[in-house]
Amino acid sequence: MSDELDVEAMIKRFRERAAAVQNRNLPPIGGEERQMFLQQAQNDFQDFAIIGDAEAVLEDGILTLKVDLRPAE
């Protein structure tokens, strides 16, 4: 295993995870459990998408993720 983190590959995996969340099938559940599942899927997508959109820099063993959360113009 390499000691160097492949930051671009990591970011790519988060983009793929965000896309996978959007394509998840909804299990046969209803009511409150359905709402909980949908809320968790939304949270997962948001978290993965934010990191997937980050600019990453690895310097001296410190990983810095820069994310622009300003609304698009």
Considering only CA atoms, which of 73, 68, 58, 46 is closest in space to residue 9?
58
Ramachandran region, residue 61 (left: φ > 0; alpha: ψ -120 to 50; beta: rest): left
Number of residues that make up the chain: 73
Look-up of token digits 């492949």: 6
What is the pLDDT at residue 3?
62
pLDDT per residue as tens digits for the range 5-63 = 899 999 999 999 999 999 988 888 889 999 999 999 999 999 999 999 999 999 998 99
- Which amino acid makes up residue 27? P
